Amino acid sequence: MCFELTLVQDSDIDREDYAQLGFSCADVCRALDRGLEGTRTDELSPSVFRAIGQLTRIVTKIQKKVVKRGKQSAASRMLNTKKDEDAIAAWSVPVGESPPPPPWACFGRDDLIEKMTGFANNLESFALIGAGGIGKTSIALAVLHHDRIKGRFGDNRRFIRCDQFPPSRIHLLARLSKVIGAGVENPEDLAHLRPFLASRETILFLDNAESILDPQGPEAREMYAVVEELTCEIFYGIHDTGERSDIVSDLVGRLDFHALSITLLATAASHNMWSYKRLAKEWDTQRARVLRTDYNESLAAAIELSLASPTFRNLGADARELLGIVAFYPQGIDENNLDWLFPTIPDRNTIFDKLCLLSLTSRRNEVITMLAPLRDYLGPRDPRSSPLLCSTKDHYFTRLSAHVDPDDPGFRKCEWIRSEDVNVEHLLNVFILIDPDSEDVWTACANFLKHLYWYKCRPVSLAAAIEGLPEDNRLKPKCLFQLSRTFQSIGNYVEQKRLLSHVLELWRKEGDDENVARTLKHLSHTNLQLELHEEGIQQSKEASEIFKQLGDTRQQAECLNYLARLLLGGGQLDAAEEAVTSAIESLPEKGQEFRVCQAHKVLGDIYNSKGEKGNAIHQFEIVLKIASTFTWHNQLFWIHYSLADLFLDQGEFDKAQVHIKQAKSHATEDKHCLGCAMETQAWIWYRQLRLENATSEVLHAIEILEKLGAVTDVYQGWPPNLEVPVPRMCTITSSVIDAMHESMIYTMISVICPSSRVDHPRIHTQHG
C-alpha cells in the first residue's frame, strides 16, 4: 500500500483517483488504530514503527494536496461515511473468495453499468479497457453488487485480482479452482474445471487481467497456452463454424490476447459470414479497421476516450507523437535509448511514465511497448507525416554510419545494434517501400547489414528489395556485398558465392579496381568454405596483386592470409606457411591487431597440421595475448577452443579444461559455438573417464540449448570443411567403460549435434 501511495503522491491524477486513495487511506488508518489499541510505542518492532511513520507522511502529503486542489468536501465525506467493520472486512477478504464492497461513489456510469448488467444476465463475456483511473474496477464492482446480478447469481459472484499472484499457469488455474469452489488441487488445464463450471451459473471478474499476459520463467509458454485457450473460446462463442482452426489461434496471438479486440474481430467475422481464411485475409489487408463494428463498441472508441482524458491532454502534443513512435517500432522503445532518440523532448521520461500509468503503453525488461491492437490503431498511417518518426529515422541512420572495424577503439560502441536490429530492419523496409530512390535509405541499408555481420549474425528480410534494385543503381553492389556477408555469417556459402559473383560483375563493369579486389578476396574465402581450393587460390592471388599495385599493404596481407588457408586446405603446407609468414611481416604490430591475430591463428593451424603441436600452441598463445586486450568474443572463443583441443590431444587435461571454460564464457550469445564447446567439454571428461561429469555436461548443454531453441539444429547446414571442428564424440571408443553408460552419453550428444551421428561399433553391436 505504501508503495502505491508513494507512486501517486506527486502525480497529477483525477478526482476519482484522489477519492479512492483517500478512502483507502482512511480504511488503513482506522484498521491500524483498532489493531494497535492499547499498544505502547516502545512495544512496536522497528520495522512496524518505520512503516507506520512512512504511511503517516504519505497520507499527510496526499491530504494536503487534496485540500490544495479544493477537494476538502470529498475528503471529509470519505473519512466519515464508512463503518470501521466494513473497512476492515474489505481489507481482509481473501483475494477472489467473494467480491469486495461496492464503490463508495460511482456517478455518470449508470448507462454503462446497465449495459454490463445486461451482458451478464445473458451470460455474455465482456471486457472493460481504458486508461488507468477512469473507473473500470468501480464499474465491475457496481455490476457485481447490482440487485439483478445478486438475484441471478447469488453467492456465485467472484472477483479475482490477477496482479495478486505470480503470473504462471499453475497459479492462475489453482486460483480459479479455489475461487469457483471446484475443489480440484493444482489442475493441469481448463478441462479439469469445465465440468464444475458447466454445473452452475457463475459471474467471474478478472481485475488487472493484463498482468497474467507477462509471465516469467519456464512456465511462460504454458501460461500463454491457457490464455490462448481462454481467448479462443471468446472468439468461438461469437463466431463458430463448427471447427477449430490454427488461423484463430494465430489471430488472437497477434492481438496480444486482447479480449475486446477478439470480441470485435469475431463480431465482424460473424456479421460478414467470413470463413477463417477470409478473415485472415481481411485482417492482413485492413488490420484495425476490421475491429470497427459499431463506433460505441469499437476499439477506436475506447482508445479515443483515453486520449481525450484530461490526464493525457495535460501531457502536451508530444505525447500523441510518442505513442505513434512506440506503435511504429515492433520492438518498442528501449528506455536506455530515450536520450539519443528524443533529444528535443526534455520531459520524455515523465511522459512515458504517465503513458504507462494510463495503460496506453507498458514496460517489459526496460522496453516500452504496447498491445498489438493499440499498435495498429495508433501507428502513423504515413510515416513521412510524423516529424518525430522522421527524426528517429535520422538518429538511427547517423548511428549506422559509424565506422565498423574490430581494430577501431570504438568498436564496442556499435554493439547497440544487438538490441535495436528488429526496429532498424522494420524502419528500412518501410522507407524502402515508400521512398525507393533515396540514397540515404540504401546507404543505411548497407551499413545495417555491415553491423549485423559483426554484432548479430542472422538472416534478413531485405534480400528481395536489394536484388530488385536496377543494375545501374550505384549503391546496388555495396548492398549486395553486405547482404552476401549475412549469408556468410549463417553458413550459407552457396548463396554468398552467387551474390558475390554478381557484385564482381558490377564492379568490373564500373572499372573499380579496389572493389574488384575486395570482392575477389571474399570470393576466395567463400571458395575455401566450399572446398574449391584451386578457384579460391587464383582469386586470392589476383586480389593480392591488385592491392599490391594500389599500395594497400593491409588488404594485401588479408589476401595472403586467405591464400594460406586455401593452400592449407589443399594440403600445400609449406606454401601456406610461406604465404602467411609474408602476411605477418607486412602487417604493423599496432593498429592492425585483428588481422595480425588472424594470421597467427592460420600459422598455428598449419603447424598443427604438420604435427608440430608445440609451435601451434605458441602461435595460439600469441593470438590470445593480443586478443585479450580487446572484446573480440568470437576470436577469443576460437583461440581458447583451439588451445583446449591441442592440450586435449596431448593429454594435458587440466590445461584443456581451463581453456574450454574460457571458450564457453565467450560463447554465451552464439548457440553454434556453445554447442561445440560443450561437446568438447564432455569429450575432455570422457577422456578422463569421468562419466558422471560427461553426462552432466551433456545434460546441461541440452538444457541451455533448449532455451535457445537450438537442441536439434546446432550443426545443421554447416559444410563439412568449415573451420569449426565438427563434433567427434562419435569416434570415442573404450573397452574399460560400461557400454550402456557410454551409449547414453552418445545418445545425448547426438541430440545436441545431429550431424555427428555415425555408427559406433560397440553401440551398434551391443545395443542395436
d(CA 198, CA 80): 43
Q: Do domains 512-581 and 588-663 have the same CATH topology?
A: yes
Taking the CA atoms of residue 430, residue 436, residue 438 and residue 443 in that order, the dihedral angle to the nearest 10 degrees is 70
Q: Are strands 157-161 and 203-207 parallel, antiparallel or unpaired?
A: parallel
Closest listed residue to residue 300, CA positions, set 311, 308, 292: 292
Cell digits for 510? 564500373
Cβ atoms of 82 and 23 closer than 8 Å: yes
Q: How many CA atoms lie within 13 A of 559 on its CB side?
A: 24
From residue 653, how far is each of 637, 679, 689 by CA, in Å?
Answer: 18, 15, 11
**Positive/negative CA dihedral, 603, 609, 610, 613:** positive
**What are the phi and psi torsion angles at 29 (to 5°)?**
-60, -45
d(CA 677, CA 668): 10
Cβ atoms of 633 and 596 closer than 8 Å: no
What are residue 205's DSSP bridge partners?
159
Cell digits for 414? 556499435
Cell digits for 658? 581451463
Cβ atoms of 579 and 563 closer than 8 Å: yes
Q: Are strands 333-334 and 157-161 parallel, antiparallel or unpaired?
A: unpaired
| H or E, element range at 126 | none
Record the pTM.
Answer: 0.58
Cβ atoms of 682 and 732 closer than 8 Å: no
Cβ atoms of 600 and 583 closer than 8 Å: no
Cell digits for 724? 569449426
For helices 15-35 and 84-92, angle between their N-to-C axes, nearest 10 degrees: 100
Alpha-helix residue ranges (DSSP H) falling in 474-552: 476-489, 493-510, 513-529, 533-550
Cell digits for 277? 481464411
What is the phi-psi region of residue 361: left when phi exceeds 0, alpha when psi lies from -120 to 50, beta otherwise?
A: beta
> What pLDDT was estimated at residue 732?
30
Superfamily of chain region 588-663: Tetratricopeptide repeat domain (1.25.40.10)
Burial class of 170 by CB neighbour count within 10 A (0 to 12, 13 to 18, 19+) = middle
Closest listed residue to residue 26, CA positions, set 88, 103, 99: 88
Cβ atoms of 679 and 749 closer than 8 Å: yes
**What are the phi and psi torsion angles at 670 (to 5°)?**
-125, 105
Report how far Cα 420 is from the mean position of its chain's Cα atoms.
Answer: 11
d(CA 735, CA 19): 80
Q: How many CB atoms lie within 10 A of CB 403?
A: 10
From residue 266, how far is each of 208, 238, 291, 378 by CA, in Å?
Answer: 23, 6, 9, 21
What are residue 161's DSSP bridge partners?
207
Cβ atoms of 375 and 288 closer than 8 Å: no
From residue 370, how far is each of 39, 49, 320, 338, 447 by CA, in Å?
Answer: 49, 40, 14, 16, 29
d(CA 203, CA 412): 56
> What single-letter DSSP state applies at residue 717?
T
For the domain made up of 512-581, the CATH class stated in words is mainly alpha
| H or E, element range at 705 | helix 691-707
What are residue 157's DSSP bridge partners?
203
Task: Domain 309-379: give its CATH code.
Answer: 1.10.10
Cβ atoms of 385 and 357 closer than 8 Å: no
> What pLDDT was estimated at residue 448?
96
d(CA 704, CA 678): 10
Report how far Cα 132 is from the mean position of its chain's Cα atoms.
Answer: 26
Buried-exposed string 47-85: b where 16+ CB fall within 10 A, e elsewhere: eeeeebeebeebbeebbebbeeeebeebbebbeeebeee
From residue 44, how far is each of 37, 47, 49, 58, 422 by CA, in Å?
Answer: 12, 8, 6, 20, 55
Low pLDDT (below 50) residues in the chain:
1-19, 69-97, 217-218, 293-297, 708-768
Q: What's the CA angle centered on 681, arms 676 and 684, to 5 degrees?
A: 125
Could you give the maximum distance between any two Cα atoms of the chain, in Å? 97
| H or E, element range at 650 | none
> What pLDDT was estimated at residue 13?
42
Closest listed residue to residue 132, CA positions, set 214, 21, 17, 18: 17
Q: What's the CA angle centered on 281, arms 277 and 283, to 5 degrees?
A: 115
Q: Cell 514503527 identifies what position?
A: 49
DSSP, collapsed to helix, strand or coil, labels residue 416 as helix
Structural domain boundaries in the chain: 2-92, 309-379, 381-491, 512-581, 588-663, 670-767
d(CA 215, CA 357): 20
Cβ atoms of 484 and 452 closer than 8 Å: no
Kindly report each contact of residues 280-285 with a partner whose C-beta sits within 8 Å and lies 24 or more positions away, as own/partner.
280/247, 280/250, 280/251, 283/251, 283/254
